[in-house]
Chain A
Amino acid sequence: MLFELNSASLVEWSRWQFAMTAIYHYMFVPLTLGLSFLLAVMETMWVRTGKEEWLHATKFWMKLFGINFAIGIATGLILEFQFGSNWSNYSWFVGDIFGAPLAIEGLFAFFLEATFFAVMFFGWNKVSRRFHLTATWLVFAGANISALWILVANAWMQNPVGMEFNPLTARNEMDDFWAVLFSPTAMNKFFHTVTSAYTLSACFVIGVSSWFILKKRHLEFARKSILLASVFGFLSILLTIFTGDTSARDVTRTQPMKLAAMEGLNRGQEGAALTIIGFPVKDAALPSERMRSVEYGIAVPKVLSFLGYHDFNAFIPGIEDIVNGYTSHDGKVYPSIPQRMANGRLAIEALKTYKTALEENNGLLAQEALETLRENYPDFGYGYLSSPDEAIPPVVPVFYSFRIMVGLGLLFVLLFVVSWWYAKKRKFHKFRIIPYLAIACVPLAYVASQCGWIVAEVGRQPWVVQDLMPTNVAITRIASGWVITTFWMFALLFTLLLIAELSIMFSQIRKGVKE
């Protein structure tokens, strides 16, 4: 079988450990990405105008930034090594491509962040104003460059490009760095993720400022912070929506099964409708128990086709079509999943034969095997599936997460518009519902953020590399007891640290702004 299939328990614990560590890390990353920008803008205002209120504002938000940044680093460390520790088969199979963006992230971004973070925090009395301001901008740059490279890596998993399989080394090898960096999947993912992070940061600033308004403290500081954050947030959410649209079009082409799961779409249609809301439930009448029927669905006709292809009548495949084989809107013929599984098995066997033929110095057999391998390699990963059902991701979490994310995104548009008006017109004594809404949007922004990742990562299952490697052969072969142990070790530690972080954060907010 070349790669051996691992026990379900080991696979599940490995997946849960990665999910847990990634979810924890992503609780803190967005605020680093976006608040660093707001800090840089506020500090720029101070340097330009000399007005102390901007200095005090910068220092207040910077304290919160520091509290968040520390735990962001803490939770990020294990991710850098977890590809090797828990996904070692994956690390060899695709490391030639995947390792590069991770190394570049470290070299380009982490050192920049680490170095200038120290200046930002400790350099107020040690360096000039301009140098300090530069440092703050460089922290923003470092954080976002870091996001770029890790998202390039993640995008590559979703849509592997810029590489070729080398049968001699039995691994994928990069042959086009620029294709990896500028892959449409990578570009969409990067801009969508960072703008959503900026949106979260804006919600955070507005929420905290709104709390001060409710408490009748630091009103002018709160007002200015809300004005700045609501403009930033409004532009960010618009870009998030725009890049969400371009991402969806990319997913339509590169991961049609993910789109079908997002929609709970079982049977494909031309002029497919977009389901606004509904309840995916089990249905014994469906051909697979992994499929769901969407009940009480409210759908808008043709919109899904438009979102996917900018053509109201385009064909969008459902889960059944993908399983049974179909022709896409742009004319590409997709074989059925059973056919792809057979192709995959041919590719796996051909690789084995090729290796044996080389050992036996049988040039002719090696050549034949190589041709078979090349022809069937695009379906290599399917050869490790034991049934077509395994190609279907969990529909329920993907369906709901997508809707929660989009719904909240629209709520944030409203939040930014209303907050801006509220602050501009100084309506602090009336419309107190607005600051309450703003405060509620802080945790909701985190929920939306995590939902986005659930769509991206649960929706790509069973693939760790789309079509080429399923999760169950990617992991490290190890006694599941060790993974269970490390899962709980880190889960406990991160939870304790999260409680500490929240406690410190609330305390620091309550302390208020030096005026």
Chain B
Amino acid sequence: MELDILQHYWWILICILGGALVFLLFVQGGQSLLYTLGKSKEERDLIVNVIGNKWEYTFTTLVVFGGAFFASFPLFYATSFGGAYVVWMLILFCFVLQAVSYEYRNKKNNFLRTRTYEIFLMINGFAAPFLLGAAVATFFTGSPFRLGEMHEVEWMTPWRGLDALFVFTNYFLAFAVLFLSRTLAALYFILMVDHREVQMRSRRQVWYNAIPFVVFFLLFLGFILAGKGYAINPDGSIELVPYKYFYNLLEMPVNTILLVIGVVAVLYGILRTLMSPQWQKGIWFSGSGTVLTVIGLLVIAGFNHTAFYPSSTDLDSSLTIYNASSSLYTLKAMAWVSLIVPFVIAYIWYVWRSMTKKAVNPEALQQEDHAY
């Protein structure tokens, strides 16, 4: 009973981290819009600096996401990172490109020149949300792996994760996350950039990206709700059940309500921004809505006797919160550790507010002691 509760508790924490991560991908979205919104060096400097003091949050959340999975669901950590090796290496590679680019981009004698670092940022900006979206989609669509008798992962294709790109449903979520990240970035710039042209371009980008985001998101949602899901039978075996994720929505009404609130908030932030040229707070609604929506989606992936990391080739190798988790002792110990999470959120919130009091313009940037 205690183990059951802790397994659910930890899946919730994973969902929260996942939600935070997708919201924070607005940084990547901003990077992908660098040349679209920034037509001059001055404008690009402004854009880079507006997202520049937030980039580490996304990066750190990704790292903690991985670490938290390792601690709470080590079989997922081993199976997914070891199995879908190529996709994860590509994701990591593009984040490595990002990590130095802010600091080195404008530095003298930076060896690779400003343009190269900007290209690095753009690669990360496009590839990271897309690949992460594709990777998370496999929580619903499955991956071709089998577990051996010592739980060692055997990937059934030589593509080691790239096979996610052979399943068209995964593209829906991949593009949805990509366009969402760009939409959120545009909304963030509307709030944080005090520059007329960049503001105008950002508002246009909300149109250009929100529409495909909504389309792809609805397609993804439609396909998974109408399709089969990986249900856990009472004897522990896994079975493909039609409308499984739809039933999860019905059978977990609280989560569904939160999901709907999330979706409404995302849409409200976008629509009001589009309808009211003076309104700038879209990011807060769409951002918090994103967190709730992603939490809601990940909950239906792992709760209510659903395999959160299903195997499309060997059903009984699918990972569930029951068979992939750490031991009772470790989950308990980590639950104690997790008490620090509200404190971490609090200081992040406090610093975010202290550092981001008003919109940034080129003149203010010139006066900064340190800039990217």
Contact (Cβ within 8 A) A73 B59: yes
Partner of A77 from B63, B72, B368 at Cβ < 8 Å: B63
* A440 at the binding interface (Cβ < 8 Å): no
* A268 at the binding interface (Cβ < 8 Å): no
Residues of B within 8 A of A271 (CB): none
Contact (Cβ within 8 A) A476 B153: yes
Residues of B within 8 A of A69 (CB): 103
Please report the C-alpha to C-alpha distance between residue A122 and residue B152 in the assembled complex, in whole angstroms.
Answer: 46
Contact (Cβ within 8 A) B340 A122: no
Chain B residue with the shortest CB-CB distance to A177:
B333
Partner of A84 from B70, B96, B151 at Cβ < 8 Å: B70
Given contacts A91-B70, A100-B71, A496 and B111 within 8 Å (CB-CB): yes
Contact (Cβ within 8 A) A85 B102: no
Residues of A within 8 A of B78 (CB): 84, 88-89, 91-92, 95
What's the dominant secondary structure at chain A's contact region? Answer: helix
Contact (Cβ within 8 A) B67 A105: yes
In the complex, how many angstroms separate the beta carbon of B154 from the nearest chain A beta carbon?
7
The 5 closest A-B pairs by CB, nearest first: A88-B82, A84-B81, A95-B74, A103-B71, A74-B99
Interface size on B, residues (CB 8 A): 76
Contact (Cβ within 8 A) A2 B150: yes
- Give the segment of B264-272, B295-303, B350-358 that binds chain A: B350-358
Please report the C-alpha to C-alpha distance between residue A77 and residue B63 in the assembled complex, in whole angstroms.
Answer: 7
* B149 at the binding interface (Cβ < 8 Å): yes
Q: What are the interface flags for A180-211 relative to B under an 8 Å C-beta threshold, 1 for contact and 0 otherwise?
A: 00000000000000000000000000000000
Given contacts A80-B67, A100-B330, A121-B370, A115 and B351 within 8 Å (CB-CB): yes
Residues of B within 8 A of A479 (CB): 158
* A355 at the binding interface (Cβ < 8 Å): yes
Q: Which of B327-362 contact A (CB under 8 A)?
A: 327, 329-330, 333-334, 337-338, 340-341, 344, 347-348, 351, 354-355, 357
Given contacts A80-B63, A84-B82, A103 and B337 within 8 Å (CB-CB): yes
Interface size on A, residues (CB 8 A): 87
Chain A residue with the shortest CB-CB distance to B93:
A489
Q: What are the interface flags for B219-247 relative to A under an 8 Å C-beta threshold, 1 for contact and 0 otherwise?
A: 00000000000000000000000000000
What's the dominant secondary structure at chain B's contact region? Answer: helix
Given contacts A70-B100, A92-B78, A486-B85, 7 further A-B contacts (CB under 8 A): A73-B56, A84-B78, A91-B77, A92-B151, A95-B78, A100-B337, A114-B59
Q: Which of B68, B81, B367: most chain A CB closer than 10 A?
A: B81
Given contacts A80-B66, A493-B96, A89 and B150 within 8 Å (CB-CB): yes
Chain B residue with the shortest CB-CB distance to A499:
B111
Residues of B within 8 A of A499 (CB): 111
Given contacts A74-B100, A104-B337, A486 and B67 within 8 Å (CB-CB): no
Please report the C-alpha to C-alpha distance between residue A486 and residue B160 in the assembled complex, in whole angstroms.
Answer: 13
Contact (Cβ within 8 A) B337 A503: no
Contact (Cβ within 8 A) B67 A99: yes
* B86 at the binding interface (Cβ < 8 Å): yes
Contact (Cβ within 8 A) B63 A482: no
